[in-house]
Amino acid sequence: MLHLGALGEADAVVKSDVAVPVALVQATKAFGGTIALKDASFELRSGEVLALLGENGAGKSTCVKLLAGVDLPTGGHIEVDGKPVVFHSPHDAQAAGISVMHQHPGLFPDLSVAENIYLGHMPRDRFGGIDNAAVLAGARKVLATVGLDVPAETRLGTLRTSEQQLVEIARALSLDARVLIMDEPTAALSQREVERLFTVVADLRLHGVAMMFVGHRMDEIFRIADRIAVLRDGRLIGIKPKAELGRAAAIGMMVGREVTDLYPERNHATGALVLEARGLSHAGGFSNIDLKLHAGEVLGLGGLVGSGRTEIARVLFGIDQPDAGEILIDGEAVHFASARDAMDARIAYVSEDRMGQSLVMDFSILDNAVLPVLDKAARSGFYGTDRAIDLVSDWLKRMKLRFSGYGQPVKELSGGNQQKVVLAKWLRTEPRVLILDEPTQGIDVGTKAEVHAMIADLAAQGMAIILISSEMPELIGMCDRIIVLREGHRTAEFARGEATQEKVLEAAMKADKRADPAAQAASEEKRKGPLDILKRREFGLLAAMLAVAIPVTIINPRMVSAANLTAVSMDAALLVVAALAQMLVLITRNIDLSIAAVIGLSAYMAASMVQAYPGLDIGIGLMTACAVGGVAGLINGLVVTRGKIPAIVVTLASMSIFRGFNSIWAAGDQISADEVTQAWLDMTGLKIAGVPLIVIIAIVILCLGYVLLYRTAIGRELFAAGSNPDGARLIGIPVDRRILLAFGMAGLLGGLCGALWASRYATIDARVALGFELTVIASAVVGGVAIRGGSGTLLGIILGALTLLVIKNGLTLVRVDPLWLQGVYGLVILVAIGIDTFIVRRAEQARQARAR
């Protein structure tokens, strides 16, 4: 295998006798008119680690995506075992033995840790379903390998960021691949977790796995790599053995110049006291923190992940409120009820979560940069683009931002350029105090030097700066003082010149005798008990049903009569089938507003066919209804997936179309009970062992739904497609096909529901199920199916449907005007969504608590 690997003008051709499982050969990738990668060639050798270096936008991620099967090369090709191949999807790359740890984990917060590890390559049992025992056993094994001590059944969304990154690593290892590509795997890891990863890498090297490591931290690169490849502006500058390439030379290759001032000299004197915290505490985050910050000073906050650094920043910026202590500005106590109050006090905060909190990824560069000063760009309430550009253009230029225009979506920028937009946005507010939380995380060394120079310049101009960083060299090189935290408590303070990496790390890891982890765990277990059921949505739905049923029964005992219970159970059977159809679509992060129209159209078409062909009654009726429903669902799905039109728009239009077609077909005619066969009517009314046949049919459908959703890989992929669509695509799940499948099955169930409806109610016209979509959606949402996708249970939709029917039945029996029902259903939906939001917020709070 040949590769380009020279410094300067001489390109060396190197022949290797080591096995080369995969290589890029003259690979070029263009996005529109932009060349992201040009004629890059390198090989990954068994038992070696190739480090890929380069500035943000140099082409590193493009190389990763080509090898991972996410993108196809525009020119050149990929070779596997010396033979050219084409990866049409990540599945093809996985089949070739390539596993990838992506920079932004493609994980699924609504699924378990074990499912996240094995999704896309689930072990199967002898019946073709998921082998849950094998999944759990395999997950526990790889979790132990990466050092993550959490139950494999844990829902991923409850884990902190670094733990989720370890799950991504475990997922890559579960593939047992012969090629492992690591794209910024250590960005969110603590030092201890990084050490564990490096131990795993050393073991994989001994087992002959070929690896590629993409990173920005030079200490890690020179520790882990055997060879180093450097990219600049989409071109491969050279490949050298680590021993032949010093750090200065590697940096020079990356940026095209010598970088000698990564940590610039700072000799100016600090000024007056600007900000002070006294005894500041926030429950679960930090306690009794004192700090002082002077004009022109850079104060560092050091400590491991979860030590309380970010929590302090959030309180100082008014996002969270302190439980004790006070904040003083210029010696006067202040209270920040919100971030706006802190901004008014000229404090700015650059969050560590660039993509989640600092930027609106779908907005343009200009819209993001001008957000904090939007009032200045909107004089008299009218926003002016020219005014907005005037406000932020100088700062964007000072940041040396690489962009095609102010209207370019910020998500199209590299990580380093995204960070420059964040910094420009906050510096435009002209703050006196600037809080920087991991400002150089995930950016290249050249951009890092620019950020450090900017920090030094701002401090020299008198700005007071708090710098939070997990990189010890950055803290030591940039800060006048460093306060070290451990589990929310201050453990040490070092002046400039006193701090060393060893001293800071020792203070950050100092044993805390106040908290016994075993005792805490035991205490947590004691808090768990039978009362935990009170926190479950299902218990709430049961309580709501009883709250309605008991007083109504007292007023009207018919509530619990056999006839009433039978009628409610038959109505519930219809509603549960329709709610299951809606659930299939909702879990993929879509919605079907046409479900009632599909039921109505299917019901009328089925009754028409039974009327026309009485000898075929049940068979022709069911076939017609299911065919009509299936076709309607596939039409919705095709327009959503192929047309890339939001489902709410598509199904709102198709609802009207299906209703209109039904009205035209019916032409005002009604099909009554005496126009169809008795066998057709008995299909749902017949009782078996006292149970209506329609209820038995619904139970069978629910059992099939359970098998599909919880026992097959396709079912879990439906949840994954809604939980994290981009992440699902990264691991080879065909998201569009899964969405199409969901709509098709929902249409099929809607058609079947239409046939059951026509049999149950006998008299059918074009107005069948009119307005029923609200009840169906309410049943699913009240039952816990998340509008945001990825989450929901069959038990939930059953209880949701029963809750709504009990409410309807109860109100009817106490003679409440039926017109109130729609208002009640709307109120119930709002309450359910509020509960869902509360549950999500509590889960996030629990995750944050784990991180502390």
Taking only the tens place, the pLDDT of each residue in 87-138 is 998 889 988 999 888 766 678 888 999 999 998 888 998 888 899 999 999 9
SS3 69: coil
State the maximum Cα–Cα separation within the chain, in Å, rounded to a whole number.
98
Q: Is pLDDT at 84 greater than 90 in this prediction? A: yes
Q: Is pLDDT at 591 greater than 90 in this prediction? A: yes
User: What's the chain's Rg over C-alpha atoms?
Assistant: 31
Question: What local confidence, expressed as pLDDT, does residue 258 receive?
Answer: 54
Q: Is pLDDT at 657 greater than 90 in this prediction? A: yes
Calpha distance 768→771 (Å, rounded): 9
Q: How far is CA 279 from the centre of its chain?
A: 36
Question: What local confidence, expressed as pLDDT, does residue 649 receive?
Answer: 95
Average pLDDT of every residue of the chain: 84
Instruction: Please say whether the beta carbons of 489 and 512 come within 8 A.
Output: yes
Question: What local confidence, expressed as pLDDT, does residue 720 receive?
Answer: 92
pLDDT band at 660 (very low <50, low <70, confident <90, very high): very high
Q: Is pLDDT at 850 greater than 70 in this prediction? A: no
Calpha distance 678→259 (Å, rounded): 88
Query: 86, exposed or middle or buried, with CB in 10 Å at 0-12, 13-18, 19+?
Result: exposed
Calpha distance 433→58 (Å, rounded): 33
pLDDT band at 419 (very low <50, low <70, confident <90, very high): confident
Calpha distance 575→579 (Å, rounded): 6
Question: What local confidence, expressed as pLDDT, does residue 599 receive?
Answer: 95
Instruction: Please say whether the beta carbons of 683 and 693 come within 8 A.
Output: yes
Instruction: Please say whether the beta carbons of 272 and 294 come within 8 A.
Output: yes
* Cβ contacts of 644 within 8 Å, gap of 6 or more: none
Alpha helix (H) residue ranges in 667-793: 678-685, 693-711, 713-723, 725-730, 735-761, 772-782
Q: Which of 356-370, 558-572, 704-718, 809-823 has the lowest mean pLDDT?
A: 809-823
Which tokens go with 263?
Answer: 């940590």
**Whole-number Cα distances in Å, 305 to 160, 194, 469, 848:** 10, 12, 10, 11
Question: What local confidence, expressed as pLDDT, does residue 532 receive?
Answer: 43
Calpha distance 93→71 (Å, rounded): 11
Question: What local confidence, expressed as pLDDT, does residue 514 receive?
Answer: 39
Taking only the tens place, the pLDDT of each residue in 313-325 is 999 999 989 999 9
Instruction: Please say whether the beta carbons of 408 and 364 come within 8 A.
Output: yes
**Helix-strand-coil split of the chain, %, nearest 5:** 55, 15, 30
Q: Is pLDDT at 475 greater than 60 in this prediction? A: yes
Calpha distance 804→828 (Å, rounded): 8
Question: What local confidence, expressed as pLDDT, does residue 825 receive?
Answer: 61
Give the single-character DSSP code of 372: G
Which tokens go with 183?
Answer: 């794209």
The neighbour count for residue 422, using CB atoms within 10 Å, is: 21
Give the pairing type, strands 179-183 and 210-214: parallel
Question: What local confidence, expressed as pLDDT, does residue 3 receive?
Answer: 34
Taking only the tens place, the pLDDT of each residue in 390-413 is 888 887 887 777 777 888 888 878
Q: Any idea what the Cα angle at residue 539 is, between residues 538 and 543, rounded to 5°?
A: 120
Taking only the tens place, the pLDDT of each residue in 230-263 is 998 888 999 999 888 887 788 778 766 555 567 8
- Calculate what percentage of the chain has a pLDDT beyond 70: 87
Is the pTM of the predicted complex or chain greater than 0.85? no
Of 628, 616, 643, 648, the closest CA to residue 787 belongs to 648
**Whole-number Cα distances in Å, 301 to 115, 461, 644:** 37, 21, 46
Instruction: Please say whether the beta carbons of 582 and 636 come within 8 A.
Output: no
Residues β-bridged to residue 183:
214
Q: Is pLDDT at 295 greater than 70 in this prediction? A: yes
Task: Tell me the average pLDDT across 683-689.
Answer: 84
More confident position, 646 or 386: 646
Question: What local confidence, expressed as pLDDT, does residue 288 receive?
Answer: 92
Task: Tell me the average pLDDT across 619-641.
Answer: 95
Taking only the tens place, the pLDDT of each residue in 52-63 is 988 767 888 889
Query: Which range has highest mean pLDDT (376-390, 535-549, 814-828)?
Result: 376-390
Calpha distance 705→584 (Å, rounded): 9
pLDDT band at 516 (very low <50, low <70, confident <90, very high): very low
Q: Is pLDDT at 830 greater than 80 in this prediction? A: no
Question: What local confidence, expressed as pLDDT, does residue 535 receive?
Answer: 46
Taking only the tens place, the pLDDT of each residue in 276-288 is 999 999 987 899 9
Q: Which of 435-439, 587-591, 728-732, 813-817 has the lowest mean pLDDT?
A: 813-817
Task: Tell me the average pLDDT across 4-9.
Answer: 34
Question: What local confidence, expressed as pLDDT, does residue 538 receive?
Answer: 67
Taking only the tens place, the pLDDT of each residue in 520-578 is 333 343 344 443 444 456 666 777 778 778 888 888 888 888 888 888 899 999 999 99
Calpha distance 604→675 (Å, rounded): 13
